[in-house]
Protein backbone atom coordinates (compact mmCIF):
# COMPACT_ATOMS: atom_id res chain seq x y z
CA UNK A 1 0.00 0.00 0.00
CA UNK A 2 1.31 3.44 -0.95
CA UNK A 3 1.49 5.93 1.89
CA UNK A 4 1.89 9.70 1.65
CA UNK A 5 4.93 10.86 3.63
CA UNK A 6 4.59 14.63 3.13
CA UNK A 7 1.53 16.77 3.82
CA UNK A 8 -1.01 16.63 1.01
CA UNK A 9 -1.35 20.41 0.97
CA UNK A 10 -0.06 23.06 3.33
CA UNK A 11 -2.68 24.87 5.35
CA UNK A 12 -3.49 28.49 4.51
CA UNK A 13 -1.53 29.55 7.61
CA UNK A 14 1.56 27.81 6.22
CA UNK A 15 1.62 29.79 2.98
CA UNK A 16 4.26 32.51 3.08
CA UNK A 17 4.74 35.96 1.60
CA UNK A 18 7.74 37.37 -0.30
CA UNK A 19 9.71 38.35 2.80
CA UNK A 20 9.24 34.95 4.42
CA UNK A 21 10.14 33.19 1.17
CA UNK A 22 13.37 35.22 0.98
CA UNK A 23 14.26 34.40 4.60
CA UNK A 24 13.57 30.70 4.01
CA UNK A 25 15.61 30.68 0.78
CA UNK A 26 18.54 32.47 2.44
CA UNK A 27 18.89 29.52 4.86
CA UNK A 28 19.57 27.18 1.94
CA UNK A 29 22.07 27.14 -0.95
CA UNK A 30 20.74 24.58 -3.45
CA UNK A 31 17.69 25.26 -5.58
CA UNK A 32 16.07 24.76 -8.95
CA UNK A 33 16.18 27.64 -11.41
CA UNK A 34 13.29 27.71 -13.88
CA UNK A 35 13.74 29.63 -17.13
CA UNK A 36 11.60 29.75 -20.26
CA UNK A 37 12.50 28.43 -23.72
CA UNK A 38 11.60 30.69 -26.66
CA UNK A 39 8.40 28.65 -27.16
CA UNK A 40 7.35 29.07 -23.52
CA UNK A 41 8.30 25.61 -22.29
CA UNK A 42 9.99 25.63 -18.86
CA UNK A 43 13.60 24.54 -18.45
CA UNK A 44 15.00 23.61 -15.03
CA UNK A 45 18.53 23.58 -13.66
CA UNK A 46 19.91 22.64 -10.26
CA UNK A 47 21.94 25.61 -9.04
CA UNK A 48 23.83 26.93 -6.03
CA UNK A 49 22.84 30.50 -5.15
CA UNK A 50 23.12 33.35 -2.65
CA UNK A 51 20.30 35.59 -1.43
CA UNK A 52 21.16 39.26 -0.83
CA UNK A 53 18.09 41.21 0.25
CA UNK A 54 15.62 41.00 -2.63
CA UNK A 55 18.25 39.66 -5.04
CA UNK A 56 19.40 36.13 -5.80
CA UNK A 57 22.83 35.70 -7.38
CA UNK A 58 24.00 32.67 -9.36
CA UNK A 59 27.12 31.85 -11.38
CA UNK A 60 26.17 30.69 -14.88
CA UNK A 61 28.11 29.60 -17.95
CA UNK A 62 27.58 31.68 -21.08
CA UNK A 63 26.10 29.65 -23.93
CA UNK A 64 24.23 27.14 -21.76
CA UNK A 65 20.48 26.73 -22.26
CA UNK A 66 19.47 28.60 -19.08
CA UNK A 67 21.71 31.55 -20.00
CA UNK A 68 20.36 31.67 -23.57
CA UNK A 69 16.81 31.45 -22.22
CA UNK A 70 17.39 34.39 -19.86
CA UNK A 71 18.85 36.50 -22.67
CA UNK A 72 15.61 35.91 -24.61
CA UNK A 73 13.16 36.22 -21.68
CA UNK A 74 14.42 37.52 -18.33
CA UNK A 75 11.57 36.02 -16.30
CA UNK A 76 12.77 33.31 -13.93
CA UNK A 77 11.79 31.44 -10.79
CA UNK A 78 13.93 29.88 -8.07
CA UNK A 79 12.38 26.91 -6.23
CA UNK A 80 13.94 25.93 -2.90
CA UNK A 81 12.87 23.11 -0.59
CA UNK A 82 13.94 21.28 2.50
CA UNK A 83 15.59 17.91 1.80
CA UNK A 84 12.37 16.05 2.68
CA UNK A 85 10.22 18.39 0.57
CA UNK A 86 7.97 19.29 3.49
CA UNK A 87 8.71 23.03 3.23
CA UNK A 88 9.39 25.07 0.14
CA UNK A 89 9.58 28.57 -1.30
CA UNK A 90 9.42 30.02 -4.79
CA UNK A 91 10.98 33.34 -5.75
CA UNK A 92 9.87 34.94 -9.02
CA UNK A 93 11.64 37.82 -10.65
CA UNK A 94 13.48 39.40 -13.52
CA UNK A 95 17.01 38.35 -14.42
CA UNK A 96 19.98 40.50 -15.29
CA UNK A 97 23.21 38.98 -16.60
CA UNK A 98 26.67 40.43 -16.08
CA UNK A 99 29.10 40.57 -18.97
CA UNK A 100 31.19 37.43 -19.52
CA UNK A 101 34.39 37.55 -17.49
CA UNK A 102 37.33 37.90 -19.87
CA UNK A 103 40.23 38.95 -17.66
CA UNK A 104 41.19 38.78 -13.99
CA UNK A 105 39.89 41.80 -12.10
CA UNK A 106 37.20 42.84 -14.57
CA UNK A 107 33.73 43.66 -13.23
CA UNK A 108 32.38 40.14 -13.79
CA UNK A 109 35.47 38.54 -12.21
CA UNK A 110 35.02 40.69 -9.09
CA UNK A 111 31.32 39.77 -8.94
CA UNK A 112 32.15 36.06 -9.31
CA UNK A 113 34.75 36.26 -6.53
CA UNK A 114 32.24 37.99 -4.25
CA UNK A 115 29.60 35.37 -5.05
CA UNK A 116 32.06 32.54 -4.32
CA UNK A 117 32.94 34.05 -0.94
CA UNK A 118 29.28 34.66 -0.08
CA UNK A 119 28.23 31.10 -0.91
CA UNK A 120 31.24 29.28 0.58
CA UNK A 121 31.76 31.58 3.55
CA UNK A 122 35.51 31.66 2.91
CA UNK A 123 38.18 32.89 0.54
CA UNK A 124 39.25 30.69 -2.37
CA UNK A 125 42.67 29.08 -1.73
CA UNK A 126 43.99 30.23 -5.15
CA UNK A 127 42.24 33.25 -6.66
CA UNK A 128 44.48 33.22 -9.76
CA UNK A 129 43.41 29.64 -10.50
CA UNK A 130 39.77 30.55 -9.80
CA UNK A 131 39.92 33.53 -12.18
CA UNK A 132 41.49 31.37 -14.94
CA UNK A 133 38.70 28.78 -14.55
CA UNK A 134 35.95 31.43 -14.64
CA UNK A 135 37.44 32.97 -17.81
CA UNK A 136 37.89 29.57 -19.48
CA UNK A 137 34.28 28.57 -18.60
CA UNK A 138 32.96 31.95 -19.83
CA UNK A 139 31.15 32.65 -16.56
CA UNK A 140 28.56 35.36 -15.90
CA UNK A 141 26.63 36.35 -12.78
CA UNK A 142 22.86 36.13 -12.87
CA UNK A 143 21.13 38.61 -10.58
CA UNK A 144 17.47 37.75 -10.09
CA UNK A 145 15.55 40.71 -8.65
CA UNK A 146 12.72 39.10 -6.71
CA UNK A 147 9.29 40.62 -7.33
CA UNK A 148 7.11 37.93 -5.78
CA UNK A 149 7.63 35.04 -3.39
CA UNK A 150 5.46 32.38 -1.83
CA UNK A 151 5.74 28.92 -0.35
CA UNK A 152 4.37 26.47 2.11
CA UNK A 153 4.94 23.65 4.50
CA UNK A 154 6.21 23.35 8.02
CA UNK A 155 8.64 26.28 7.71
Q: Evaluate whether residue 6 is within a structural domain.
A: no
Q: Evaluate whether residue 3 is within a structural domain.
A: no
Which residues touch 139 (CB under 8 Å, ≥6 apart)?
A: 59, 60, 61, 62, 100, 101, 108, 112
Q: Evaluate whether residue 138 is within a structural domain.
A: yes
Q: Evaluate whether residue 22 is within a structural domain.
A: yes
**How many domains would you assign to the chain?**
1
Tell me, what's the pLDDT at 3? 41
Tell me, what's the pLDDT at 9? 45
Q: What is the CATH number of the domain that holds 86?
A: 2.30.110.10
Q: Evaluate whether residue 70 is within a structural domain.
A: yes
Q: Evaluate whether residue 140 is within a structural domain.
A: yes
Read off the DSSP letter of residue 13: G
Quote the domain boundaries for residue 82.
15-144
Read off the DSSP letter of residue 73: -
Q: Evaluate whether residue 8 is within a structural domain.
A: no
Q: Give Cα separations from 132 to 72, 97, 98, 100, 105 (angstroms).
A: 28, 20, 17, 13, 11
Show pLDDT as tens, one digit a residue, over the chain (155 residues): 334 444 444 444 455 899 999 999 999 999 999 999 999 999 999 999 999 999 999 999 999 999 999 999 999 999 999 999 999 999 999 999 999 999 999 999 999 999 999 999 999 999 999 999 999 999 999 999 999 999 998 65
Q: Evaluate whether residue 150 is within a structural domain.
A: no
Tell me, what's the pLDDT at 16? 82
Amino acid sequence: MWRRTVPARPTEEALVDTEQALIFSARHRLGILVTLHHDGRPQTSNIVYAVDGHRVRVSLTDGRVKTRNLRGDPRALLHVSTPDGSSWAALEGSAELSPVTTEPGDEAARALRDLYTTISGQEHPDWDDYDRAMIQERRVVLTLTVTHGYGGGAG
